[in-house]
Chain A
Amino acid sequence: GESVGLHLPTLSVQEGDNSIINCAYSNSASDYFIWYKQESGKGPQFIIDIRSNMDKRQGQRVTVLLNKTVKHLSLQIAATQPGDSAVYFCAETNSGNTPLVFGKGTRLSVIA
């Protein structure tokens, strides 16, 4: 069978509740931050991004908050649905086509 992530932080939420997933990034020089969703057996899927000159950005049901002072990023998912169950990764990079540096994932489990 497929290996599962060991020691992944897990967040369990009731369907319809809001979810908050946190991430600490490492490089104070990073100026782009992205949240990815990874479902079992699939590649990372872009959710939302934010540039370092912003502290908040909203999408459809998702909000990303950036606190550069403490190098902290969070992803808020409103009205969490079973389809949101996945592992979520934050990633940081600089402008241009530089590689992404991923944080540790958080497994979101939605209880129906």
Chain B
Amino acid sequence: GEEVAQTPKHLVRGEGQKAKLYCAPIKGHSYVFWYQQVLKNEFKFLISFQNENVFDETGMPKERFSAKCLPNSPCSLEIQATKLEDSAVYFCASSRTSGRASSYNEQFFGPGTRLTVL
């Protein structure tokens, strides 16, 4: 598609339950990024993929969070045993591959998934 799609729009989980969020990048884009936004404030980078390979996971909490981008499937972000502080809006962004290492590739953002942990 021509827009980044994220599902579900809203997700409510009890503390300790699992949450799984999905992202379909723009067709033809090779890179996928996940960001967490708490209270409409700053964005925190979590992880990025180049096709199905993890590209950068420096922002990813080592425990409880995992992510995948498998061929011919939406990318996913999964939180095991959610905690109250996981409540946030999770944004996915995608960008295309550039032939030049020096160029910047614009990241296009999806509408986000609002996760509420009760």
Contacts and interface: CB of A to CB of B under 8 A. Distances in A.
B contact patch SS: loop
19 contacts: A3-B40, A5-B39, A6-B39, A36-B109, A45-B109, A46-B106, A49-B106, A51-B104, A95-B102, A95-B103, A96-B103, A97-B31, A99-B58, A100-B33, A100-B107, A102-B35, A102-B43, A105-B40, A105-B42
A98 interface: yes
B40 A4 contact: yes
A5 B37 CA distance: 10
Nearest first, the 5 A-B pairs at minimum CB distance are A43-B109, A5-B40, A99-B45, A102-B43, A32-B104
Contacts of A101: 45
A7 B56 CA distance: 31
B111 A43 contact: yes
B40 to A, nearest CB: 4
A87 B59 CA distance: 24
A81 interface: no
A contact patch SS: loop
Contacts of B72: none
A96 B42 contact: no
B95 interface: yes
A42 B4 CA distance: 12
Contacts of B109: 36, 43-45
A32 B106 CA distance: 10
A51 B104 CA distance: 9
A56 interface: no
Contact of B104 (A7, A49, A104): A49
A89 interface: yes
Interface string A46-60: 100101000000000
B55 to A, nearest CB: 7
Nearest to A34: B106
B25 interface: no
A87 B4 CA distance: 20
